[in-house]
Structure 1
Amino acid sequence: MVANFKVFKKSSPNGKITIYLGKRDFVDHVSGVEPVDGVLLLDDDYINQKERKVFGQIVCSFRYGREEDEVMGLNFRKDLTLVSEQIYPSNEKVETTKLQDRLIKKLGPNAIPFKFVLPPNAPATITLQPGAEDQGEPCGVQYFLKAFVGESDTERPHARSSVSMQIRKIQYAPSKQGRQPCTVVRKDFMLSPGDLELEVTLDKQLYYHGEKIAVNICIRNNSNKVVKKIKAMIQQGVDVVLFQNGQYRTTIAHLETQEGCPIQPGSALQKVMYLLPSLQSNKDRRGIALDGQIKRQDTNLASTTLLANPEQRDAFGIIVSYAVKVKLYLGALGGELAAELPFILMHPRPERNKFIHADSQADVEMFRQDTVDPSVDDPNY
């Protein structure tokens, strides 16, 4: 009995360099990032010519402006090479994984293992949703694993002898819930006795995508004003760290009600309002932050960005946060009273990959072209 693996593959246009990866999503655990490990298969021409050098890089690409606005030499895209190493020839021995061992055994002596380690403060893969009229690449952060032939890692590689595969850096929800979010705000009124008190509580701090959020609202009206309407909303905060003023908020779910209103002086009201943050109801909203996607895969609202130290922000990324905001409307003279609670919205950590057991013949067949994900051979992928 042997373990069967799924493999992603992409080759250079001349077919002489091929990248094999076991996965394209690499998890940021806040304290560190999973290493990007795989196998590079070289043609005999490169192996026999010892003067040939093959380099590997991980490039973080940040597009912060529309591609169609790039005129008169303007460029709204920055590429940052996070890792750059010489893969072949190399004197450093790479500690191989089970997948790499299996690939080397199947592909032969021209298969060379590699392992790249991303810095812990590298930004997450995030895309800003384009408008209906926008064309070209969407704004956001993307990662590419590149391999090419050259004299040094700083020279511009030839397109025919280079290969680039898109990967993602993602985060999953922590294993433990944090403290239950709760806040109490009060408003005093000039020339009026008493105050208006608003208490907002969430049943937990961490929510998963697709999960409804229960907003518990308690209103105590000790003033002589009247509460006429209640509005609850979920706001997505986007901080484009590259710009000093690159912070904005977008309401992605809201609910207004007059049930239980008007709340007269001396009375109280307790109610629960349910909100569902989803991409389905924000399909046409330009600038909404989405989880970075690989072509032909569905995506969703961006997950909350977790930082080990909020003060040490990488100036190359996008930071996403979420908050529940509740407003009480008191009329033209009374004004408003608002309370806000931050929460975390993420994907649960998936179970560890379970190996599919098969016999030796099935293990041989898994590397046929029809068993490797065909989408990675798309030159536009």
Structure 2
Amino acid sequence: MSTKRSVYKKNSHNNKLVVYLIQRDIFDDLQLIDPIEGIVTIDKNKLKYSKIFARIRCTFRYGEQQLDDVLSGVTFYKEFFIQTKQIYPMDMNEDNDKYSDVQVYASETPQCTIGKRNAVNLVIRRLTLAIPKPDDNVYTKEIIRPFHFHLGQLHITAILPKDVYYHGESIPLKLLIDNESSNIVRRLNIQIRIKAVTGFGGRDVQMEIPIILCHARQQQEIIKAEEADDLIIEEFKRPAAKQHQTTKELEKMDSY
């Protein structure tokens, strides 16, 4: 088993700054955020009187990156700064914060324009890890199906012990069917659809219960006829086109 661990490294263009990050995925469990742990190496002789600042910059993109090149002057992302902090020399008057370095640059003041030669930018991701709390409440879903040509309604209630399930975990389902209509439920299919979006998207699980309704099949009584007078032949009307075609066929048979 390998015990090696990856370390992310990036240099500035003039090689005066070198940034090392332990990880680029930062988890947020809605209560605490993992600190950004890393090391910054500098060349004191080349930096002279400059100070080292670390800045956290967040970028929110709501379009394809290729659109920025096609539509000149129109960008499909927003950027905002979360915090800027002086990391060298240490500012004793500034309170410590849970954020560390993401963008490291050399400048005399934090408000100075940042040049590419004296700055290092490392992209990190903030991932939300929300562990659901145990809930004693059951999860229910009710379906009411009315009918246009029949009286009454069909009530189906699905009951789950909880609303969050992990991969590979069995899902016990309890169904309550209250059929107040004249139809009969002959088959019941249950499907569980899982839609997972990787990356920065969310996840949702939806359940569908399709039903197939059929009319009740009436039991026909078979009566044996003793005489010819006991048989009743009921005449029924055919559609006009079909009746006309049948009449022609009978006339041809009589002609033969």
1:84-123 alignment runs, 5 A limit: 84-92=84-92, 116-117=98-99
CA shift, 1:198, in A, is 2.3
- Contact 2:160–2:174 under 8 Å retained in 1: no
Where does residue 236 of structure 1 map in the other structure? none
Aligned length: 207
Where does residue 57 of structure 1 map in the other structure? 55
- In structure 2, relative to structure 1, the CA distance for the partners of 1:216 and 1:173 (3 Å cut) is same
CA shift, 1:46, in A, is 4.7
- Contact 2:192–2:208 under 8 Å retained in 1: no
Where structure 2 has 5 or more consecutive residues not aligned to the other structure, the ranges are 214-256
- In structure 2, relative to structure 1, the CA distance for the partners of 1:211 and 1:203 (3 Å cut) is farther
1:249-328 alignment runs, 5 A limit: 265-267=183-185, 272-277=190-195, 289-292=197-200, 302=201, 320-326=202-208, 328=210
Where does residue 200 of structure 1 map in the other structure? 158
- Contact 2:185–2:211 under 8 Å retained in 1: no
- In structure 2, relative to structure 1, the CA distance for the partners of 1:274 and 1:330 (3 Å cut) is closer
Amino acid aligned to 1:58: I
CA shift, 1:153, in A, is 2.9
Q: Distance in 1 between matches of 2:89 and 2:173?
A: 62
- In structure 2, relative to structure 1, the CA distance for the partners of 1:274 and 1:325 (3 Å cut) is closer
1:148 aligns with 2:129: no
Q: Which one has a larger percent strand, Structure 1 or Structure 2?
A: 1
Q: Distance in 2 between matches of 1:183 and 1:36?
A: 43
1:186-265 alignment runs, 5 A limit: 186-189=144-147, 192-202=150-160, 204-208=162-166, 210-211=167-168, 214=171, 216=173, 218=175, 219-224=177-182, 265=183
Where does residue 116 of structure 2 map in the other structure? 159
CA shift, 1:212, in A, is 6.9
- In structure 2, relative to structure 1, the CA distance for the partners of 1:215 and 1:159 (3 Å cut) is farther
Where does residue 38 of structure 2 map in the other structure? 38
Q: Percent identity?
A: 22
- TM-align CA RMSD: 3.6
Amino acid aligned to 2:40: L
Where structure 1 has 5 or more consecutive residues not aligned to the other structure, the ranges are 96-113, 119-143, 225-264, 279-288, 293-301, 303-319, 332-381
CA shift, 1:158, in A, is 1.4
What is the TM-score with the length of structure 2 in the denominator? 0.64
Amino acid aligned to 2:76: F
- In structure 2, relative to structure 1, the CA distance for the partners of 1:217 and 1:271 (3 Å cut) is farther
- In structure 2, relative to structure 1, the CA distance for the partners of 1:85 and 1:35 (3 Å cut) is same
Q: Distance in 2 between matches of 1:330 and 1:156?
A: 68
Q: Distance in 1 between matches of 2:56 and 2:105?
A: 12
- Contact 1:217–1:270 under 8 Å retained in 2: no
1:69 aligned counterpart, secondary structure:
helix
Encode CA deviations 1:88-109: one digit per residue, 9 max, x unaligned. Answer: 22323899xxxxxxxxxxxxxx
- Contact 1:212–1:277 under 8 Å retained in 2: no
Q: Distance in 2 between matches of 1:57 and 1:27?
A: 19
Encode CA deviations 1:16-65: one digit per residue, 9 max, x unaligned. Answer: 21222222222212123222232211113356x12x02211111101112
Q: Distance in 1 between matches of 2:117 and 2:165?
A: 46
Where does residue 67 of structure 1 map in the other structure? 65
Where does residue 132 of structure 1 map in the other structure? none
What is the TM-score with the length of structure 1 in the denominator? 0.46
